[in-house]
Amino acid sequence: MSHGSQNLKFDEGRLMQVLVAPIVSEKATMAAEKSNAVTFKVLQDATKPEIKAAVELMFKVEVKGVSVVNTKGKTKRFGKSVGRRDNVRKAYVMLKPGQELNLGGEAA
């Protein structure tokens, strides 16, 4: 299998699952303002090309680049029991200049 071709056809059903949820936090908002990047929570095994394809498919925008961060789940105490939050894989998706991604749902 050659890795040269960029236009691999991804499975659309899979792409629909790659983006778990947009992350709207202060840090994510700052990233958005500074570098036109949008932050998503993604599947643990999602690859950068999949994330890029998923964002382009679902939001009809052009993606410049994707960087991925794995964060370990924090250990939280719930009274006597100790719970672990899930590990989260976050994707920072940089959009090409002029591209805008609307997560709020309201028209810009």
Q: Which CATH number characterizes residue 87's domain?
A: 3.30.70.330
pTM of the predicted model as reported, rounded to 2 decimal places: 0.73
Flag whether 88 is in a domain.
yes
Flag whether 56 is in a domain.
yes
Flag whether 107 is in a domain.
no
Flag whether 100 is in a domain.
no
Tell me what the pLDDT averaged over the chain comes to. Answer: 83
pLDDT tens, residue by residue, 47-91: 999 999 999 999 999 999 999 998 887 788 778 887 777 778 999
Flag whether 1 is in a domain.
no
Q: What is the pLDDT of residue 94?
A: 94
Flag whether 108 is in a domain.
no
Mean pLDDT of 1-12: 60
- Cα-only R_g, the chain: 16
CB neighbour list of residue 91: distance below 8 Å, 6 or more residues apart:
19, 39, 40, 41, 42, 46, 48, 51, 66, 67, 68, 69
* Owning domain of residue 90: 12-95
When divided into structural domains, the chain yields a total of 1
Flag whether 102 is in a domain.
no
